[in-house]
């Protein structure tokens, strides 16, 4: 196994260790599940560094790739019941950074109920689904639309991760991309604090998917050392003895 800063899949898709995908034919970057505002639920703390980390990662993406579009594929914000102070502060900071550098598209996720109040203030449209070229961007919390044979879903919502276990019961857990060639790409959560849905437990969050859809998909892990090509989920399941 080898850690790399990026791995190319298909002809025009590059997966980055920063938990972003580059769609070269569109000159676009896509990320999902930022969950800005999640820190508001950490009682007794004042943790504001999630936004700094995510800005640092997206800045590295801009420095390496010639992109002029960014798609946020759902769950830009975190709280369901309104917009908390942290969201009013850090969402404009993040989207302002992106708007200065690229055309910005935001797909609405299940946590984005009240995002329109912030988006309207900055003149940003929200999409339930977005089609650019052969890619269909949807968050994944609602049934997916019909797709043509040459089209690929790009999805969030799952927060996919896997645990790699050793013989004595220790494990390392990592956020992952899930890639089924020609069908779908599921993005890891961009937030450093919300990536924990372990795929090998057989549970699937995306409404239109089943565990069988995932089994033959290839899994790419994101670590502080780089991105790594692991195996198909079925292979990992067999190795781990799930």
Strands (E), 45-183: 69-73, 103-107, 126-127, 129-132, 135-138, 152-155, 160-165, 171-180
Across residues 154-169, what is the average pLDDT?
A: 87
Cα separation, 222 vs 34, whole angstroms: 16
Q: What is the pLDDT of residue 119?
A: 92
pLDDT digits (tens, 9 = 90+) for 65-112: 999 999 999 999 988 887 888 888 899 999 999 999 999 999 999 999
pLDDT at 193: 82
Could you tell me which residues come within 8 angstroms of residue 149 by beta carbon, excluding any fewer than 6 positions away? 182
- Of 49 and 163, the one with more pLDDT: 163
User: Residue 131: which pLDDT band, with cuts at 50, 70 and 90?
Assistant: very high
- Looking at the domain assignment, is residue 207 inside a domain? yes
pLDDT confidence of residue 14: 98
- Could you give the CA distance from residue 98 to residue 162 in angstroms, rounded to a whole number? 30
52 within a domain of the structure (yes/no): yes
Angle at 55 between CA 51 and CA 58, to 5 degrees: 140
CA dihedral of 107, 111, 114, 118, whole degrees rounded to 10: -60
* Contact partners, residue 31, CB within 8 Å, separation at least 6: 19, 20, 21, 58, 70, 71, 72, 73, 187, 190
Residue 32 domain boundaries: 6-240
The reply to whether 143 falls in a domain is yes
- Taking all residues of the chain, what is their mean pLDDT, rounded to a whole number? 91
Total domain count for the chain?
A: 1
Where does residue 74 fall: left (phi above 0), alpha (psi -120 to 50 degrees), or beta otherwise?
Answer: left
Tokens matching residue 18: 């920063």
pTM tops 0.85, yes or no: yes
Task: Return the DSSP state at 112.
Answer: -
State yes or no: pLDDT of 134 exceeds 50. yes
Q: pLDDT value at position 57?
A: 95
Identify the pLDDT of residue 10: 83
Helices 85-99 and 49-64, interaxial angle, to 10°?
10
DSSP designation for 123: T
Which pair of structure tokens corresponds to residue 42?
């950490």
CATH of residue 115: 3.60.21
Note the pLDDT of residue 241: 58
The least confident of 70-74, 169-173, 220-224 is 169-173
Alpha-carbon distance of 169 to 16, in angstroms, equals 29
pLDDT of 44: 46
Residue at 211 is within a domain:
yes
Helix (H) or strand (E) holding 211: helix 211-215
For 10-63, write each residue's pLDDT tens digit.
889 999 999 999 999 999 999 999 999 887 665 545 556 788 899 999 999 999
Q: What is the CA radius of gyration of the chain?
A: 17
**Is residue 60 included in any domain, yes or no?**
yes
The reply to whether 1 falls in a domain is no
């Amino acid at each position: 196994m080898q850690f790399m800063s990026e791995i190319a899949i298909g002809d025009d898709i590059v997966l980055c260790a920063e938990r972003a995908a580059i769609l070269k034919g569109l000159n676009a970057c896509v990320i999902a599940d930022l969950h800005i505002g999640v820190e508001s639920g950490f009682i007794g703390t004042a943790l504001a560094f999630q936004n700094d980390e995510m800005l640092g990662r997206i800045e590295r993406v801009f420095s390496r790739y010639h992109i002029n579009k960014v798609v946020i594929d759902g769950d830009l914000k975190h709280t369901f019941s309104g917009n908390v102070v942290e969201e009013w502060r850090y969402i404009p900071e993040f989207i302002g950074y992106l708007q200065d550098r690229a055309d910005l598209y935001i797909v609405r996720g299940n946590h984005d109920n009240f995002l329109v109040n912030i988006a309207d203030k900055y003149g940003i449209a929200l999409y339930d689904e977005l089609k650019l070229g052969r890619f269909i961007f949807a968050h994944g919390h609602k049934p997916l639309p019909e797709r043509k044979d040459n089209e690929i879903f790009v999805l969030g919502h799952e927060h996919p991760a896997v645990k790699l276990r050793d013989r004595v019961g220790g494990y390392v857990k990592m956020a992952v991309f899930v890639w089924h060639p020609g069908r779908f790409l599921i993005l890891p959560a961009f937030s450093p604090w919300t990536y924990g849905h372990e795929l090998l437990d057989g549970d699937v969050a995306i409404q239109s998917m089943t565990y069988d859809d995932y089994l033959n998909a290839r899994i790419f892990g994101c670590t502080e050392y780089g991105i790594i090509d692991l195996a198909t989920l079925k292979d990992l399941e067999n190795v781990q003895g799930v």
